Every structure is written in structure tokens, then in C-alpha cells.
């Protein structure tokens, strides 16, 4: 069975083709609509980067279809068994992967207000794929779905009930496909049943979140109503006293949109030291860069501590995402002065080995390359095989 997974971001489109559950080809179209757009394409041992202006997501998908044809990988989308789509926000309406029909489209549209930026792009990808392959089953996999079983005490904010009941204001959590993938891969690595494990998963990329996974179920996560809450991120501030927002508006005269832009796009690592690239920050001798790294590791450490307390017993802590998988410096900083029976293995960490704790450590620490598209494909295979 052949499945394609489409992951449409605001200015990028990722596309992965699977055959018999293995990835066959991988495309990333970056900077859509900008002068420096690029198509990166990996197939077998081949890796090609093509600089080409790609006007919009429709053009990006058409370019991918042409490359699939040119390299004789797939004649067209009608030869697929299903197309899986990443949809960021499923609200409370979607707690599982869902076959897309008119009703599902209407529901996804009705959730746009919760996350206009992501859901708009995700929906655009769905409508395009439907146009290109109207007879192929399309399946939506939601980032929020993995967190849908969190207990009420985890997902409610301490507000009057009407704000949740009438307006849906609650913690939803994000990066669900990544947290689910990391937890399953960790159980696999440990050769244990996931239902017996308590795991803390860390998805650390440009956007970052931490998740407490008990028996394979998310019981708490750091991102909230929006992806702004939680650990310090590339350009997002993470946890902040809501009073700061009122102060910025009342005392500094900033508008709602200006505050939104500042907290989401000009804060975090970028706001602290002028770049959100952890490679640059780690190599820099600049005092602000050093402070940014100290603050980042401290904010992640605080979530690990909180989730250790919530879970009561932790079997493994798993790092994934561009930063989690690659920054040995940050991983080391996070475990400095932590004891609790954790024995961090410096050499294994430097070598970015899969297990970076010592054999007699009470908690295994792991580095696993996350794969959201693989997780989405697995959800699609589950539906096709049911």
C-alpha cells in the first residue's frame, strides 16, 4: 500500500511517500512565495536541492507531482491508497485520525479561529489534494489528538467555568504526533510494553513542547490553548505572567496584534540574543547568547522536574526535534546538578548515541530522531487496515 503524507506549514510544505510502511521519498518545499524558495528532495541515495520560486502551496504540490513522475516514483496521486494530512488543531471535535469528508472539512473550518495560521494552511493542503485525487481516501491526523485524554485537572485553566464551557478556553497541547512517535520508539528501544512505562518526551525544535506520557497516554503537556505556552522557544516567549500582556497594552500602548507578534515572533531565543539558531548561540561568546542558553536549559529542566513529580516514577526521558537531537551542549546543561539517581553519560551524549545515560541510571535518557510523517502514515495504515 502506498501512502503520501502532506504537512503544510505557513511557508513550507513537507511531503513523504510511504510504501509498505517504509519511507520511499521525502520532499521539503521551503520559503513558499519568497525569492529564496527551495525544493529539497530525497529518494533512495539521491538528495537534490533545487532553487526555484514556488508561488504558493498549490504550485509546491504540482512541483512534487512532476518530480515524482520524472523520477518514475509515482505516475500521479490517483495511484495512492491514501493521503494523510497533518492538521494542527482538532479542538475537542477530533480525538482520533479521521477520514476526510464534507462534514470533517466543515468542522476543521469551524476550528480556524483557534489557530488561524496553521489550520488555514493545513486545510489548503487538504483541498488541493482532494482536487488532485478526488477518489483517494484522505485522512486528517491532528496534533492535538494525542493530548485529548489529559485529565480535566491538566487541561483546565483556573478560570470561571463559562470560559471553558462556552468558549473552549483550555489546554489543548500540540506536537502530538511527535510525542506519540517518541514514546513508542522509546518503548521499542527498551523492548518494553508502552503501557508499563512512564516517559517524559521533549520535542525541542523551533517550536518546543514537553509531554508527560503515562502508559502511552499524554497526561500533561507544556503547550496550552495555543503553542505560545511552555518552555522558551525559538521566537516564542513560553510561560509568562499574563499581567505582562496587560501592562504592555495599557502602559506601552501596544495593540493586541502588536503584543501577539512580539510574544510569538520576536521573543524567546531570538528576543534574548538576536538569533533562534541554537548552533549559533552555542558557538557564540556573547553574554546574551550565554544567558539565552542558560534560560533555555533552566526552563526545560523545570518541566522535567514538574513531570517527574506528576508521574511519580519515570522510566525514560526522550529528546527529539532539531535541538533535542543535535545539541549535546544543551542536553548536558539540562542534567547538570540533577541527581534523583540519573547517571548522565557524557561520552554517549557527545557522540549523540541513542542512550545517553549510564547502564545503572535509574532513568534512561535517550535521543531519538522524531518522525511526525511516519506517525501520521502509521495512523493512516491503521485506518486502511481496519
Residue 296 C-beta: closest distance to ligand ADP, Å: 10
**Contact (CB, 8 A) for 88 and 111:** no
297 lies in the binding site for ligand ADP (CB under 6 A): no
Q: Is 322 in the site for ligand ADP (CB under 6 A)?
A: yes
Task: Check binding of 209 to ligand ADP (CB under 6 A).
Answer: no
- Contact flags string 229-268 toward ligand ADP, x per CB under 6 A: -----x----------------------------------
Closest distance of CB 331 from ligand ADP, Å: 10
Number of residues that bind ligand ADP (CB under 6 A): 13
Question: With binding defined as CB under 6 A, does residue 207 bind ligand ADP?
Answer: yes
24, 64, 278, 296: which one contacts ligand ADP (CB under 6 A)? 278
Q: Which residues pair with 213 in a beta bridge?
A: 199, 218
Under the binding rule (CB under 6 A), the answer on residue 122 touching ligand ADP is no
- For ligand ADP, which residue of 91, 205, 238, 268 counts as binding (CB under 6 A)? 205
Q: What are phi and psi of 211, to 5 degrees?
A: -140, 140
Residue 283 binds ligand ADP (CB under 6 A) = no
Cβ proximity to ligand ADP, 207 vs 230, nearer residue: 207
Q: How far apart are CA 150 and CA 173, in angstroms?
A: 10
Sign of CA dihedral 122, 42, 186, 229: negative
Torsion of CA 161, 166, 169, 172, to 10 degrees: 110
Shortest distance (Å) from residue 370 CB to ligand ADP: 8
Q: Give 19 or 277: the residue with its C-beta nearer to ligand ADP.
A: 277
CA 86 – CA 106 distance, rounded (Å): 16
365 contacts: CB under 8 Å, gap ≥ 6: 316, 317, 318, 319, 331, 335, 342, 344, 355, 356, 357
Q: From CA 23, how far away is CA 371, in angstroms rounded?
A: 11
Of 63-71, 250-258, 271-279, 310-318, the segment contacting ligand ADP by CB under 6 A is: 271-279
DSSP string for residues in 281-345: HHH---HHHHHHHHHHHHHHHHHHHHHHHHHSS-SEEEEEHHHHHH-HHHHHHHHTT--TT--B-
Which one among 180, 198, 276, 297 touches ligand ADP, defined by CB under 6 A? 276
138 vs 208, beta carbon nearer ligand ADP: 208
- In angstroms, give the least distance from the CB of 34 to ligand ADP: 16
321 lines the binding site for ligand ADP (CB under 6 A): yes
Q: Which is nearer to ligand ADP, 327 or 349 (CB)?
A: 327
Whether residue 18 contacts residue 24, with contact meaning beta carbons closer than 8 Å, is answered with yes
Q: Minimum CB separation from ligand ADP for residue 101, in Å?
A: 30
CB of 131 to ligand ADP, least distance (A): 27
Catalytic residue list contains 241: no
The three-state DSSP-derived secondary structure of 84-144 is EEEECCCCCCCCCCEECCHHHHHHHHHCHHHCHHHHHHHHHHHHHHHHHCCCCEEEEEECC
Task: Using CB under 6 A, list all residues that contact ligand ADP.
Answer: 205-207, 234, 276-279, 321-323, 326-327
Q: Annotated catalytic sites, by residue? A: 143
Amino acid at each position: 500500500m502506498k501512502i503520501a503524507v502532506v504537512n503544510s506549514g505557513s511557508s513550507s510544505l513537507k511531503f513523504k511517500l510511504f510504501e509498505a510502511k517504509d519511507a520511499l521519498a521525502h520532499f521539503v518545499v521551503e520559503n513558499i512565495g519568497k525569492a529564496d524558495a527551495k525544493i529539497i528532495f530525497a529518494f533512495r541515495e539521491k538528495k537534490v536541492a533545487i532553487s526555484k520560486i514556488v508561488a504558493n502551496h498549490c504550485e509546491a504540490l504540482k512541483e512534487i507531482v512532476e518530480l515524482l513522475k520524472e523520477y518514475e516514483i509515482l505516475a500521479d496521486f490517483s495511484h495512492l491508497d491514501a493521503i494523510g494530512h497533518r492538521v494542527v488543531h482538532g479542538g475537542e471535535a477530533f480525538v482520533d485520525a479521521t477520514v476526510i469528508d464534507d462534514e470533517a472539512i466543515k468542522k476543521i473550518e469551524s476550528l480556524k479561529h483557534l489557530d488561524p495560521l496553521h489550520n488555514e494552511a493545513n486545510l489548503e493542503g487538504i483541498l488541493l489534494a482532494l482536487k488532485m485525487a478526488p477518489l483517494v481516501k484522505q485522512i486528517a491526523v491532528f496534533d492535538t489528538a494525542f493530548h485529548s485524554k489529559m485529565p480535566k485537572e491538566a487541561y483546565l485553566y483556573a478560570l470561571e467555568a463559562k470560559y471553558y464551557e462556552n468558549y473552549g478556553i483550555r489546554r489543548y497541547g500540540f506536537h502530538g504526533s511527535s510525542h506519540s512517535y517518541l514514546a513508542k520508539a522509546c518503548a521499542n528501544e527498551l523492548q518494553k510494553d508502552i503501557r508499563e512505562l512512564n516517559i517524559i518526551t521533549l520535542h525541542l525544535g523551533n517550536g518546543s513542547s514537553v509531554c508527560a506520557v503515562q502508559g502511552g497516554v499524554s497526561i500533561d503537556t507544556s503547550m496550552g490553548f495555543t503553542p505560545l505556552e511552555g518552555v522558551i522557544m525559538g521566537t516564542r516567549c513560553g510561560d509568562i505572567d499574563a499581567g505582562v500582556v496587560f501592562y504592555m497594552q495599557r502602559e506601552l500602548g501596544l495593540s493586541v496584534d502588536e503584543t501577539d507578534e512580539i510574544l510569538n515572533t520576536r521573543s524567546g531565543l531570538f528576543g534574548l540574543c538576536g538569533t533562534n539558531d541554537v548552533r549559533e548561540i552555542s558557538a557564540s561568546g556573547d553574554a546574551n547568547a550565554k544567558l539565552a542558553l542558560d534560560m533555555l536549559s533552566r526552563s526545560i529542566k523545570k518541566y522535567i522536574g514538574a513531570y517527574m513529580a506528576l508521574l511519580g516514577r519515570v522510566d525514560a526521558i526522550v529528546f527529539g526535534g532539531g535541538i533535542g537531537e543535535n545539541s549535546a551542549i544543551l542536553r548536558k546543561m539540562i542534567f547538570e546538578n540533577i541527581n534523583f539517581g540519573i547517571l548522565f553519560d557524557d561520552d554517549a551524549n557527545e557522540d549523540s548515541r541513542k542512550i545517553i545515560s549510564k547502564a545503572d541510571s535509574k532513568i534512561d535518557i535517550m535521543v531519538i530522531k522524531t518522525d511526525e510523517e511516519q506517525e501520521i502514515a502509521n495512523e493512516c495504515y491503521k485506518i486502511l487496515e481496519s
